Amino acid sequence: MRSSFADVHDGICLGYFGPFESDQDPDTSLWLAAEMAREDVAAEQAGGRPLKLSPVWSDSPWTGGTTVLRDLIFEQRTVGIIGGMDGESTHLAETLVAKAHVPLLSAVSTAKSVNLANVPWTFNV
């Protein structure tokens, strides 16, 4: 069972599941956009609880991705996940958020089958 968010954080932790290390890699464009949005929110908050964006990724989502995403959700106590760069990684994230009851915002995956499981906290933009 996840403990109360307020018990473990001074701010709000939002997870990011996708490539994030090289600003020259086109796959990191979603990370750069998420970081810019976080900076905009931080500028508007002035005195509120800070928003932390915690990135994780594995080039092999079904092996290493499971572990890093699980740790992101259960150890860092994220309140939601942004990510899934393709159908495979989004399906992986979907299986974990379904068990943890945290929302998943999939901004770039075009896999139509992601929503077939009717997981109510998976959102596609």
The domains found in the chain, sorted by start residue, are 5-124 (3.40.50.2300)
Determine how many CB atoms are found less than 10 A away from the CB of residue 76. Answer: 15
- Model confidence pLDDT, tens digit, residues 22-63: 655 667 788 888 899 888 887 777 567 788 899 999 888 888
Find where tokens 């150890």 sit.
Answer: 75
Q: What is the pTM of this model?
A: 0.78
Q: By mean pLDDT, which of 4-8, 11-15, 70-74, 82-86 is the weakest?
A: 4-8
For the chain, percent of residues with pLDDT exceeding 70? 73
Label residue 83 left, alpha or beta by phi (over 0 means left) and psi (-120 to 50 means alpha).
left
